[in-house]
Structure 1
Amino acid sequence: MIEGLPSGGDVPSETLLAGYFVAAPEQVRFSGLPSAEQLTSASDCLTDRFPDDGCWFGTAREALAACLPLQLPVDARLFALLVPSEHVGGFVADIRAAGTDEPVLLAHLDGQGADEAAREVADGGRELGWEVLGYDCGLLHTWLCNDLYEEGRLHLGVDTDERGLLPDRQAAVRVAAWANSREDTKPVTWFPAALIEWDTPIESGLAPVTTEAPAPSAHGSWWGRIL
């Protein structure tokens, strides 16, 4: 388990930074899924990511700059996805097999074009939890959208938190191995991944989608210093 990001924002040695994305959590009340007020995922299936036409970014600066012209929900946040080193190969193989254009993911995970600075995680993030993902034809799927949640609770004794995330790396590794042993899921290589969140409202050029304006921070924001 990642106990915390080291000073300076370096990615822990046993993980690789896949990239940054901006997303808003979703309220989930569907049969077969965990009941969650703020389900959070890197998957394209269960949350909205921004912008619609390209949602992976190599740096926090690029992700935040891309959101400036948008009207974002007030609860949209910046995230980073970290993948344990030993699980990167299957992820990259599925990207290459799909033949889709993923310059950010491949640069970070396959070492093509990302320098050391691009592999550092921006200051201020915190580990939010773990999930299990798989890449198929340009989309990231999650184990939650493959009817595995109830069976996982029953057979593996794992459960998710109020965000729909697993508590630690060990639980995510177990779920990924179990999902890969099945033949009734998406044809993907399931892998564990950690989500890092920056719990600061994202500045945009348009008013956020909300009925109540958020209170301004007395100390300013970390993203204001890097844009």
Structure 2
Amino acid sequence: MIEGLPSDVDVPGEMLLAGYFVAVPERPTVAGLPRTERLTSASDCLIGRFPDDGCWFGTAQEALAACLPLQLPVDARLYALLVPSEHVGGFVADIRAAETDEPVLLAHLNGQKPGKAAREVAEGGHKLGWEVLGYDCGLLHTWLCNDLYEEGRLHLGVDTDERGLLPDRQAALRVAAWANTRGDTKPVTWFPGALIEWDTPIESGLGPVTTEAPAPSAQQPWWGRIF
């Protein structure tokens, strides 16, 4: 039974689940992006999403089931995006202003109590890190695709890890606040988000890969220590 995250996922409290997605980390070849072999993001701009770009799922089971008939690369993985509750309002406002069809994102983010959705995140995932995102016309953009990376390093003293992610919530908050003061990015409300990954190959038409849920942790999950 998929119930909650293990105790090593140290994501701060008051978080809401935006949704699940399946993606493949990429090696960026564009100047101005972090040099990494496995760039990982919830953004539609920088990595391959499955089954299609912009495809969000309400549960881990739905995401895995949608991938069964596909020919997925072997490094495709399941991810979840968590958003601090105080930044959900701007995210939802931009979705509504775009008048796009986002039933999963709106169902999870609009009017849901903090912690309720976070407790539904699957057992066995681990926190990757933080990024800064913004929603515009059906696409979830990242600060990295808005030419902010080099300036962020120079002016804010922040840097990303081997996945192209920020190390903690405070760094993401600083980048989001800074990006929101600028007039040279996508017209979005920038917000911080935490990525969770399940490092288990996904069963698909590519081959007989087993995707069994890991055994529940014996320790108290991170949300149990927060809520």
Q: TM-score range by the shorter chain?
A: 0.7 to 0.9
Question: In the TM superposition, what is the alpha-carbon distance from 1:124 to its structure 2 partner?
Answer: 0.4
**Could you list the per-position Cα deviations for residues 63-116 of structure 1 after superposition, in whole angstroms to 9, with x for gaps in the alignment?**
00000000001000000000000000000000000000000000000037xxx5
Misfit runs of 4+, over 2 Å: 4-7, 116-119, 205-208, 220-225
Q: Is the 8 A contact 2:124 2:213 kept in 1?
A: no
Aligned AA (2:84): P
**Partner of 2:148 in structure 1?**
148
Q: Is the 8 A contact 2:20 2:59 kept in 1?
A: yes
Give matches, 1:55-70, under 5 Å: 55-70=55-70
Tell whether 2:199 aligns with 1:222.
no
Change (3 A) 1:117 1:16: closer
Change (3 A) 1:150 1:12: closer
CA distance in 1, matches of 2:106, 2:135: 13
CA distance in 2, matches of 1:29, 1:224: 35
Change (3 A) 1:26 1:44: same
Tell whether 2:34 aligns with 1:34.
yes
Tell whether 2:84 aligns with 1:94.
no
Give the aligned CA root-mean-square deviation in angstroms. 2.3
**Partner of 1:108 in structure 2?**
108
Change (3 A) 1:200 1:222: same
CA distance in 1, matches of 2:72, 2:111: 32
CA distance in 1, matches of 2:189, 2:53: 25
Question: In the TM superposition, what is the alpha-carbon distance from 1:54 to its structure 2 partner?
Answer: 5.8
Q: Is the 8 A contact 1:59 1:118 kept in 2?
A: no
User: Tell me, which stretches of 5 or more residues in structure 2 are unaligned?
Assistant: 216-227
Q: Is the 8 A contact 2:19 2:80 kept in 1?
A: yes
CA distance in 2, matches of 1:144, 1:51: 23
| Identity level (%) | 84
CA distance in 1, matches of 2:153, 2:25: 22
Q: Is the 8 A contact 2:129 2:166 kept in 1?
A: yes
Q: Is the 8 A contact 1:29 1:36 kept in 2?
A: no
Change (3 A) 1:71 1:148: same
SS at match of 1:58: coil
SS at match of 1:65: helix
> Bigger relative contact order, structure 1 or 2, given CA contacts below 8 A and separation 6+?
2
CA distance in 2, matches of 1:185, 1:45: 14
CA distance in 1, matches of 2:198, 2:156: 31
Question: In the TM superposition, what is the alpha-carbon distance from 1:45 to its structure 2 partner?
Answer: 0.4
| TM-score normalised by the chain length of structure 1 | 0.85
| TM-score normalised by the chain length of structure 2 | 0.85
CA distance in 2, matches of 1:152, 1:118: 29
CA distance in 2, matches of 1:53, 1:14: 28
Change (3 A) 1:54 1:177: closer
**Aligned length in residues:** 207
